[in-house]
Structure formats: structure tokens, C-alpha cells
Chain A
Amino acid sequence: MGSTSNNAEFSNPPLGGQGGFPGEIQEIPGGGIVLSKLDDVINWARSNSLWPLTFATSCCGIEMMAVASAKYDFARFGFEVARASPRQADVIIIAGTIVNKMGPVLKRLYDQMADPKYVIAMGACAISGGPFFYNTYSVVKGADHIIPVDVYVAGCPPRPEALLHALISLQDKIKRGLTREQIKSGL
């Protein structure tokens, strides 16, 4: 009776409201039922309690604060509260320019975060150095030279809606259950 989850489920994962609660016994036409894997339940839980690290190095930080505050309010999607300690944070939003002097600090913060940890590069500076790409001795040309990045948000700075979209994209990515390495190898 019934079938456990198989690879087909990866192509149609339980995303926000489309597939129902993972782990829930779902009836399928023909009288069978579908059971989710424990991994899916864990990923569902993780994706809905991502606490960001308070980390803003320039003007993108203002937009990030706007997303955190009442009008946009990322707590609605489970980002709840920005933590001032990397040990309590799950996601680091790189909101701003990273200079060579800041590089080791960013690396250390990332290393101090507990697994699983995720990184969003917000804005032109965090993606490529942005307006400081040319003729500067001090700016890192993209935060992914220092730590691996999961989601990139374009903009200078991005609108709060864009960051919300990035956060929700990250949730989708986690719910799909693929690691960064699996995605890169084209799985």
C-alpha cells in the first residue's frame, strides 16, 4: 500500500502551500498515500526559522532594516529577528561593500555560525564590488571571493521587495533540499 517518496518528489517539492505540509499523509488519486522523508520535514522547519545576522556594511543595510521593520516585515516569512551574535544566526545578509580590511572579519563571522548556514549577497557591492570595481585599492570585488554565496540580489541598493524575494528564494532552495555542491554539479 502506498509509496514512499522518490526522486520525482525533488522535481515537485512541497513549496509554500503548493504541496501541503511535508510529513503529512497525503492521499493521491487511486487510493495510495505519500509519505515525506524526514529530511523534507527538517528542511521545511529550517527554511521557516532563518534568523539573519545583524551585518550591514553600507547603504544596503538601510534597505535591510526597512525589510525588518513594520512595513515589509520579514518576520512574516520566518526571518523573525536579526541576531547580533553569529552563533545564533542562520543566514548572513551581506548588505554592503566589503573592503580588504573587512574580509577577514566576514570570514570569521561566517566560520562562527553554526551549520546549516546560508549567505545572501545583497546589492552590487556584495556581488562584484559594484561602483567600487574600478580604480580602488581597498574593495573586495565580490563577497564570494571570501565566503560562498547562496542567493544574489541585484540593485544599488535593491528595493525591500527584492530582498524579500531573495529571502523567499532562499527558503525555496532549502526546501528543495539540495546542498550548494549538489546544485553546482547540476544534480
Chain B
Amino acid sequence: MNNEELKAKITELLAAATFDETGEWLNISIDSKDWLPLAQQLRKEESLQFDYLFCLTCIDFKTHLTMVYHLTSTVFRHNIVIRSVLNRDNPEIESVSHIWKTAIFHEREVYEMFGVNFLNHPDLRLLILPDGWEGKNPMRKDFEDPVNMIKL
């Protein structure tokens, strides 16, 4: 499917989705509460079959957090990018780890680095950071560490 066809198909699945086609891949902005049902459809729909979540990350824009999911289909070789804005004070989004297993690790990383709470994640704890870093979120733009950090 090309971007136009993907756009038509995804509008069919979720009318509230907004699109940005400035990049190579189709960017789809959605509300975080629509994410889980949309993800299930993207994975299962015969003509889409997004079976590979190849990037899951988060961006801190200081006013809000944005979750970014890159999906591809190993059958059709088409790609999309899903973005979802989260509240910075209480970031919450449904886990997609039971749809794409790789999300178990990626969501743990986003959890420790940005403090995003993934609902219904099977094992949400720190991935790389050592004990004692719970709730500190070093990838947030306003993170400060007086012990280890030297400010420029």
C-alpha cells in the first residue's frame, strides 16, 4: 500500500486520526485512548498486517510528552508512524506488549527514561538503570542530578 491508500484505510478504522505526510512515511496523530483498539486493528487487518514494531520511543517537548511508534509490515513492506501526545504530569498509555512482544522491553525503557506509565504491561520495572532510579526519569529535559551531572 502506498501512503494515500494507508491514509484512506486508517481513516476508515479511526475517523479521529490526523495525518502528516511531510516525511517519507505517513505520520498519524491519535488520542492516547484510541491507541489500543487501533493497534489491534493495524496488526490484524488483512490488508495492513503491521506485524513488526521496529521502534518505540518517547519525546519530551517540555510542555507534553509524545509517544512515537514505528510500524512496518514484513508482508507488504509498508511503514507508518503513530504519534500520541501524553500529559506530562501523569503520562499514561495502554501497553501494546501483548500485540508486539518487543514492546515489553521498549516500554520498560521508556518507563525508566521518561516515566510513562504503560497500563496492563506484564512487567513494568527498570530496564537498564540500577536500583534507586525509580521515578527520576533522566531523559526528561528538566532532569537534574547534582551528584553526577556537571552543568555546561
Whether chain B is bound by chain A comes out as yes
Contacts of A136 in B (CB 8 A): 148-149
B150 touches A138 (CB 8 A): no
Q: Which residues of B contact A135 (CB under 8 A)?
A: 149-152
Cα A138 to Cα B138 in complex, Å, equals 9
Question: Counting CB contacts under 8 A, is B145 at the interface?
Answer: yes
Taking the complex as formed, is B23 at the interface, i.e. its CB lies under 8 A from any CB of chain A? no
Chain A: CB-nearest residue to B149: A137
Bound CA–CA A133/B130 (angstroms): 21
Interface residues of B: mostly helix, strand, loop or mixed? loop
- Decide if the interface of chain A is mainly helix, strand, loop or mixed: loop
Per-residue B-contact encoding for A120-145, CB less than 8 Å = 1, 0 else = 00000000000001111110010000
**Does B61 have its Cβ within 8 Å of any Cβ on chain A?**
no
A69 within 8 A of B: no
Cβ–Cβ < 8 Å partners of B145 in chain A = 137
Query: A101–B138 Cα gap in the complex (Å)?
Result: 15
Q: Which of B138, B150, B151 has a CB less than 8 Å from the CB of A141? A: B150
A5 within 8 Å of B by Cβ? no
Q: How far is the CA of A56 from the CA of B65 in the complex (A)?
A: 35
Q: Which residues on A sit within 8 Å (CB–CB) of B138?
A: 137-138
Bound state CA distance, A137 and B150, in angstroms? 8
Q: A26 at the A/B interface (Cβ < 8 Å)?
A: no
Q: Which residues in A have some Cβ–Cβ distance to B below 8 Å? A: 100-101, 133-138, 141
Kindly provide the distance from the CB of A146 to the nearest chain B CB, expressed in whole angstroms.
14
A101 engages B148 (CB within 8 Å) = no
Chain A residues with CB under 8 Å of B150's CB are: 133-135, 141
A152 to chain B, nearest CB (A): 20
Question: B143 at the A/B interface (Cβ < 8 Å)?
Answer: yes
Q: A101, A134, A141: which contacts B130 (Cβ < 8 A)? A: A101
- By beta carbon, the residue of chain A nearest B136 is A137
Q: Which residues of B contact A141 (CB under 8 A)?
A: 150
In whole Å, how far is A171's beta carbon from the nearest beta carbon of chain B?
35
| Chain A residues, Cβ within 8 Å of B151 | 134-135
Q: Contact partner of A137 among B128, B148, B152, CB < 8 A? A: B148
